Structure 1
Amino acid sequence: MTLFQTVTILIALTALGGYLNHRLLHLPPSIGLLAMALVASLILVALGEAGIVDVHRYAGFVPGIDFSDVVFHGLLAFLLFAGALHVDLADLYQVRWSVIVLSTLGTLISTFVIGALFWAVAHWLGYGLSFLYALLFGALISPTDPIAVLGIIRKVGAPKALQTRITGESLFNDGVGAVIFLTILDIATGASTPDIASVSCFFVQETLGGIALGWLLGWMVFRLLRQIDDYQVEVLLSIALCMGSYALADELHLSGPIAVVVAGLFIGNRGWTLAMSEQTREYLGKFWELVDEILNGLLFLLIGLEIVAIRQAGTYFVVGLAGIACVLLGRGISVLIPVRAMGEWISFPSGTVRLLTWGGLRGAISIALVFLLPPGPERELILTVTYIVVIFSILVQGLTFGPLLRRIIPPAPEQ
């Protein structure tokens, strides 16, 4: 099957799923597509197990898609840029310390807490999982996924400060999680034995280098935007900035996600107010909103279809449920410690820990990272558990975050 045929099938399925969700389910678009793809995949797998249909042709189509490559070298740049365009820098600056601490220290705490809990639970259930692989699970599942978060949190009416905290953390902590994951992966596979100095240098290079590159390219495109008033060219420049910042960062061994987020923040704030006409703002905003909706739907459809790539889903189902508990407990601890520590000089509203814990959704980033693990029984176990955690996170946490928010922070009475 050619690349064009593969993309055509995925786009057609996304369009059909979006239509059915709009007419029948009325769920948030991403969640609706994920739910339908998941149900269809489960039905197909069940029919295949019963010998009613030949599932091999379909089963060969989905695993043939390199999920990690699709996410990291395709969809992620566009989705992060589209999300960053709508983040107000002034709001982000007001919660900067909580975002910085949660996306760095919080991710590190979460990695080790979840890893230790999952290692203990796996051994208790009779699975001989090594501690390093348990830490790998903790590292890949700790980052809150910006794609899942941005697609849901904006629609539930969260207070601006809480929305900015969750969104800001999710935009930046994937870079930290990736550094931790790749470092532990090198140790687990024997590729290297990095020390604290080399890991710190790698982290600084990835993070600060990505910030600097994104700011520089954003400033350059901003200067170009100020010199013209042609919405077609300006939209094209924004596309070039999105793709160019991510690709160049990848080539220079910097953090592509952080570079594209910073570039998007620059254009979405300074560029939006100082370099664009009203017509350009309207067209550019609608263009990136459409890109965000289409690619979100496509990505969540892929997540739902990936059930076919899991060989031992039934065998590992119990440990997957235990993994959900480990992740929620680890997330709660990784939020509680920084919030309590920062509470001496930062005022957090009542219920912040519960909302940040339940609103820390997992998604495509975790699944993309798990596919980087070397083949073997430990990979199958972690892949299945990751998938179960992600599905629970998006379907259960995503759909119930709004009611939880309204219960903890009741809406102000109408005047």
Structure 2
Amino acid sequence: MQNWLELLHTQYLERKGGIIMLQEAYPYLILLFIGYLVYTLDKKKETFPAPPMLVLIGLALSVIPIFSQLTISEEFIYHVMLPALLFVSAYQFPVSMLNRYKSMIISLSTIGIIVAILLTGLTIYAAAGFFVSLSFAAALLIAVILTPTDPVSVVNILSADLNDELVTSVVEGESMINDGTSIVAFTLILSWYTHQQPPGFVEAGTELLYVSLGGIAIGLAGGWLFSQAVHFTHEQSYQIMLSIILAYAVFFLAEAVHVSGVLAVVTAGLVLSRTFYQSKKETHFREALDDFWEILELSILSLLFLMIGILAAPTLLHSYWLLVVILFLFMLLFRWITVEGVLLLTPSRHPSSRKERFLISISGVKGAISVYLILKVQETGGSGSEIITAISFSIIILSLLLQSFAIHPLAKYIVKK
């Protein structure tokens, strides 16, 4: 009899545990449904783009206990969400556009990143002294957090308003590549911040080169293998399964050997894009792949932008808002200066106009990578991590809201002039 009672008690606890797990999953299902409603009901996507709308809803949901208790780790963003988002962006990016504007894209993603980090870091260090004590390493850490761009909320608007392939290609291409270079730079500066020991110039340059080239090499190898394997079967379901394996395999392999998983995924996606554009035999596969990854991308983006609002809400209650506004304005100025300088000095067969450079600069909206870097700082801890988190999250929210909502009227105004 005792054994039966123990068995029933064990089964009850297992069922209770399962019910608790289901209850924990409900809020995420609700968030996904909210994302569905926003994307479905938003008929004026140019005026009210979905990503900032989702962030606003997330901020509002943060006062409801069932949502305020939700957490999302930096590991989940980096290892689960990010590879999929980067892969779909890369394989849908026409290689012909990359070849046409590669000098601009690479210059902005390398030289532009370094210039932006230095200018923003120096300004943060100088301005913060009037409001709060902040070390130079902490100032650079905030700068590198705010450097990556995420054009998901503006590229479709620019495409509809401008029909200018230079602007949309450079904005999207820069975002794909600067994610990888920003993470490498962040790793070096975070080490400086935590150990109070600045990296040597040669050491930093060597590390950047190794991590970047290593990630690209793994992406090229993975993309080539996929381009060969995809012809073994014409079953669309199996080919889509293979694309999922490719996206995550190259990422995890690159991270395992301590090179850039971000650049590995982007490179593999670009190789896949090149394969599709060169061969018409796989048109049916391209259509099926587009359908699958588009659904996955929208689902991830819905959860991500809603969670950005929920995660950011508690950090926005601080006394540094004057500093935040000042830094945000300077960040926009430095972005414009960087884009102007880099693109004017970069030789290209398709030079950009002043209007195009301005639109590229204003399209540098912050997003997923920046949030991941903030959560990484929170995990590291330290006496200044709360200040870094508060300032960074506040500027990201301003960027997502103000820049995303401003891009449509600005683009329409520039077209009319």
TM-score, scaled relative to structure 1:
0.87
- Equivalent residue for 1:174? 179
- Equivalent residue for 2:96? 90
Distance 2:348 2:214 in 1: 31
Distance 1:113 1:325 in 2: 13
Distance 2:221 2:302 in 1: 31
CA contact (8 A) 1:149 1:166 kept: no
- Equivalent residue for 2:215? 210
State the 4+ residue runs in structure 1 displaced beyond 3 angstroms. 1-8, 20-27, 146-158, 275-278, 343-346
Q: Which 10-residue stretch deviates more, 319-328 or 149-158?
A: 149-158
Cα gap change, 1:180 to 1:212, in 2 (>3 Å): same
Distance 2:226 2:88 in 1: 16
Match of 1:327 among 319, 327, 331: 331
- Equivalent residue for 1:372? 376
Unaligned runs of 5+ in 2: 1-16
Q: Which 10-residue stretch deviates more, 182-191 or 68-77?
A: 182-191
- Equivalent residue for 2:8? none
CA displacement at 1:145 relative to structure 2: 2.5
CA contact (8 A) 1:245 1:259 kept: yes
Distance 1:225 1:10 in 2: 34
- The one-letter amino acid of 1:340's match is L
Match of 2:61 among 26, 40, 58: 40
1:318 equivalent in alignment to 2:322: yes
- Equivalent residue for 2:340? 336
- Equivalent residue for 2:28? 10
- Equivalent residue for 1:301? 306
- Equivalent residue for 1:241? 246
- Equivalent residue for 2:41? 23
Q: How does 1:1-400 map to 2 (within 5 A)?
A: 6-19=24-37, 22-23=40-41, 26=44, 27-41=48-62, 44=63, 55=65, 59=68, 61-62=69-70, 64-66=71-73, 68-124=74-130, 126-145=131-150, 147-148=152-153, 153=158, 156-190=161-195, 193-271=198-276, 273-274=278-279, 276-310=281-315, 313-342=317-346, 347-373=351-377, 374-400=380-406
Secondary structure at 1:351 match in 2: helix
Distance 1:221 1:393 in 2: 37
Match of 2:408 among 394, 399, 402: 402
- For these two proteins, the number of residue pairs brought into alignment is 394
Measured against aligned partners, the alpha-carbon deviations of 1:45-103 in whole angstroms (never above 9, x if no partner) come to 8xxxxxxxxx5x754x23x431x212211100000111112111111111111111100
Distance 1:316 1:377 in 2: 17
CA contact (8 A) 1:139 1:181 kept: yes
CA contact (8 A) 2:125 2:134 kept: yes
Structure number, greater radius of gyration: 2
CA contact (8 A) 1:148 1:363 kept: no
CA displacement at 1:406 relative to structure 2: 2.3
- The one-letter amino acid of 2:117's match is T
Cα gap change, 1:80 to 1:58, in 2 (>3 Å): closer
Distance 2:248 2:406 in 1: 34
Q: Which 10-residue stretch deviates more, 253-262 or 268-277?
A: 268-277
**Cα RMSD, aligned residues only:** 2.5
CA displacement at 1:282 relative to structure 2: 1.6
Secondary structure at 1:362 match in 2: coil
Distance 2:306 2:162 in 1: 25
CA displacement at 1:371 relative to structure 2: 2.1
Distance 1:344 1:89 in 2: 17
CA displacement at 1:187 relative to structure 2: 1.5
- The one-letter amino acid of 2:72's match is I
Cα gap change, 1:344 to 1:69, in 2 (>3 Å): closer
Distance 1:157 1:38 in 2: 31
CA displacement at 1:122 relative to structure 2: 1.1
- Equivalent residue for 1:49? none
CA displacement at 1:394 relative to structure 2: 1.6
CA contact (8 A) 2:216 2:263 kept: yes
